[in-house]
Amino acid sequence: MLNDRKFKILQAIVNDYIETAEPVGSRTIAKKYGLGVSSATIRNEMSDLEDLGLISQLHSSSGRVPSSKGYRFYVDSMMQSPALAEEEALLLQRMLIENIRQSEYMMQETAKALSRLTNYPAIVSEPYLKKTAIKHIQLVPLDEKSILLVLVTDTKTVKNQVVNLSAAPGYDVLTKLSALLNRRLSGLSIREISRECIDKMLAEFGEHAHVLMPILGITADMIQAEDDVRVYTSGVKNILTFPEFSDKAKAEQIFHALEDRASLFEILGTPKASGIQIIIGEENALDLLKSCSLIKANYTIDNQGTGCIALIGPMRMDYAQAVSVLSGVLQNIRHVMDALGLRNGGTD
């Protein structure tokens, strides 16, 4: 626990350092924050805060900067997130609502909006809708050696692909084969199609058994593509604007991680906690993020798929503003999903 004076001094150091990226001295606090005490008294209090591990001094003649522990105390005990300014709220609404009929673009626009309003790199993953199932398959003749496979999934996605064969059956045969496929496969995910099921279909296809395996292979590929989660970033180059990343090697390491799909999923992690999570410095599991802070939240669609939205920046992030923007984005996603009839579940 901190007394009122220490509390205000720590708050002043965090606020000033977030704004200026310069170590904060006792004179600055005395002049700027009107605490009603001398610089000497402030220095004594700063020394106590340093002993508590909440601030640190880069060298003997410099001011103080918040430590990871200090930022954590600030986030947990001091931070107040203001409501979004009217123009910010309107910008979010416009960017997302304009894409209400193009839901595949909504997550891209979400990333752009987050980065634009905060100036931090933004990461947004689409919701992962597990175990996409087959709803309907239709086989359509094209020519003597090819047919068109039309797949409808339980997520209402329609995909089609040409299947090349040594000999393509005619329309009547393909209609019968389509009915056989739908009787056996409708409602199943690819993982649920057993060897026994395939053997039964091979027997039912009879002389046209050579058609089945290419169809199953292409169907599996299309569903796999449907199950793959896309992840979007925006403002990646913004990381280079912060003085904390003036070291080229450090900046490039983070920059490349934000451009690599596997690294992005590692950064986002597995959805667990509810609400907005703030992970500061050493709290990050990944070594490359030990000098960064990550602010993220999960969102759900129709209580099935869960996606993640995140902002990444230096530990000197404007946490209050970033949380306000992230909260506004989550609220707007809920509105858009409601309009699309997807009954968004909010933060997971």
Binning pLDDT at 50, 70 and 90, where does residue 339 land? low
pLDDT of residue 156: 78
pLDDT of residue 344: 46
pLDDT of residue 296: 94
DSSP classification of residue 189: B
pLDDT of residue 229: 75
Burial annotation 269-303 (CB, 10 A radius, 16+ → b, else e)? bebeeeebbbbbbeebeeeebebbbbbbbbbbbee
pLDDT of residue 178: 95
Q: What is the pTM of this model?
A: 0.69
Which amino acid belongs to residue 289?
L
CA end-to-end span of the chain: 32
Q: Which two tokens stand for residue 157?
A: 């996605």
Q: Which two tokens stand for residue 124?
A: 């947004």
Does residue 322 surpass a pLDDT of 90?
yes
Does residue 340 surpass a pLDDT of 60?
no
pLDDT of residue 220: 86
Does residue 101 surpass a pLDDT of 50?
no
Strand (E) or helix (H) holding 224: helix 209-227
The Cα angle at residue 62 between residues 27 and 24, in degrees rounded to 5: 45
d(CA 282, CA 292): 8
The closest of 230, 211, 199, 38 to 124, measured between CA atoms, is 230
Q: Percentage of the chain with pLDDT > 70?
A: 88
φ and ψ of 37, to 5 deg: -130, 165
On the 0-12 / 13-18 / 19+ scale of CB atoms within 10 A, 325 is buried
φ and ψ of 129, to 5 deg: -90, 100
Mean pLDDT in residue range 196-223: 91
Binning pLDDT at 50, 70 and 90, where does residue 321 land? very high
Does residue 51 surpass a pLDDT of 50?
yes
Binning pLDDT at 50, 70 and 90, where does residue 98 land? low
Between 74 and 268, residue with greater pLDDT: 74
Binning pLDDT at 50, 70 and 90, where does residue 125 land? confident
CB–CB of 257/281 below 8 Å?
Answer: no
Binning pLDDT at 50, 70 and 90, where does residue 306 land? confident
Between 6 and 334, residue with greater pLDDT: 6
Domains delineated in the chain = 4-78 (1.10.10.10), 86-128+229-340 (3.30.450.40), 134-227 (3.30.390.60)
Does residue 128 surpass a pLDDT of 70?
no
Mean pLDDT in residue range 208-220: 91
Q: Percentage of the chain with pLDDT > 90?
A: 51
Decide: helix, strand or coil at residue 301: strand
Binning pLDDT at 50, 70 and 90, where does residue 43 land? very high
Between 302 and 88, residue with greater pLDDT: 88
pLDDT of residue 304: 56
Most confident of 24-38, 127-141, 329-343: 24-38
CB–CB of 347/299 below 8 Å?
Answer: yes
Query: Where does 144-213 show beta strands of DSSP type E?
Result: 146-153, 158-164
pLDDT of residue 338: 65
Burial annotation 151-181 (CB, 10 A radius, 16+ → b, else e)? bbbbeeeebeeebeeeebbeeebbeebbebb
φ and ψ of 127, to 5 deg: -65, 140
d(CA 67, CA 56): 6
